[in-house]
């Protein structure tokens, strides 16, 4: 399969690209550190990306910025960032990507465990993640030509906790998170949200 991975330089996207590489042709895209540049927050940039890659068999969205902070401290700009970047950026990957996908191709988006298991400070990101999961379930009913769509909902990733200098023992290794994306790309599921959590359920 020819697979387009957006966010391929990130903690999750790099692990997904590595897991798919070898068995598939992986096309890596990201904001600034890949050969192929795309800005999820800019619809025209997404359209240009699809025009440049031609037909693909799968699209993986593993990018998207969101704001974290106490509800009453979140600004209009924080909410706008979440909505235009992680939420509508990934929704637009689907809207503008349908014609680029081969029959029975798939989209795999990234939400997050905070959609259904919030913590203090997660109001904006929980909003976005829950919105993405609702979108995936509904879009699966509408997509033509046998196209599939799923989301992976990671909890904390081990490598991210290490980078944040937090206790990494509760995180799932990126390589294990990547297997949920592989399952979505290579399997037959659609409309599904695949949770991947660490050993203590976070």
Ligand X SMILES: NC(=O)c1ccc[n+]([C@@H]2O[C@H](COP(=O)([O-])OP(=O)(O)OC[C@H]3O[C@@H](n4cnc5c(N)ncnc54)[C@H](OP(=O)(O)O)[C@@H]3O)[C@@H](O)[C@H]2O)c1
Q: Which residues bind ligand X (CB under 6 A)?
A: 6-13, 30-34, 38-41, 62-66, 85-86, 110, 112, 154, 156-157, 160
Give the residue with the Cβ less far from ligand X, 19 or 41: 41
Q: Which helix (H) or strand (E) holds 17?
A: helix 11-20
Of 8, 10, 12, 5, nearest to 172 (Cα)? Answer: 12
Beta strand residue intervals within 62-192, DSSP E: 101-110, 148-154
> Which ranges in 30-146 belong to alpha helices (H)?
43-53, 76-81, 88-95, 123-142
Give the residue with the Cβ less far from ligand X, 161 or 188: 161
Say how far apart CA 76 and CA 172 lie, in whole Å: 32
Give the residue with the Cβ less far from ligand X, 17 or 103: 17
Say how far apart CA 177 and CA 197 lie, in whole Å: 8
Q: Which two tokens stand for residue 31?
A: 């904001």
Nearest residue to ligand X, using CB? 10
CB of 64 to ligand X, least distance (A): 4
CB of 190 to ligand X, least distance (A): 21
CB of 81 to ligand X, least distance (A): 10
Give the residue with the Cβ less far from ligand X, 85 or 106: 85
Give the residue with the Cβ less far from ligand X, 106 or 110: 110
CB of 114 to ligand X, least distance (A): 7
Q: What are phi and psi of 165, to 5 degrees?
A: 60, 40
CB of 155 to ligand X, least distance (A): 6
């Amino acid at each position: 399969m020819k697979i387009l991975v957006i966010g391929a330089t990130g903690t999750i996207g790099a692990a997904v690209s590595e897991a798919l590489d070898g068995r598939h042709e992986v096309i890596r895209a990201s904001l600034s550190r890949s050969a192929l540049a795309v800005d999820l927050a800019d619809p025209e940039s997404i359209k240009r990306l699809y025009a440049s890659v031609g037909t693909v068999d799968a699209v993986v969205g593993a990018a998207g910025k969101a704001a974290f902070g106490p509800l009453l401290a979140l600004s209009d700009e924080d909410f706008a960032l979440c909505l235009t970047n992680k939420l509508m950026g990934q929704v637009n990957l689907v809207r503008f990507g349908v014609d680029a996908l081969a029959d029975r191709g798939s989209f795999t988006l990234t939400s997050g465990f905070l959609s259904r298991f919030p913590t203090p400070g997660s109001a904006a990101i929980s909003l976005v993640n829950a919105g993405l999961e609702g979108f995936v379930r509904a879009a699966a009913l509408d997509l033509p030509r046998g196209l599939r769509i799923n989301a992976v909902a990671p909890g904390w990733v081990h490598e991210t906790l290490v980078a944040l200098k937090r206790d990494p023992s509760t995180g799932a290794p990126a390589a294990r998170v990547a297997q949920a994306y592989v399952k979505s790309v290579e399997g037959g599921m659609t409309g599904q949200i695949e949770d991947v959590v660490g050993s203590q359920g976070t």
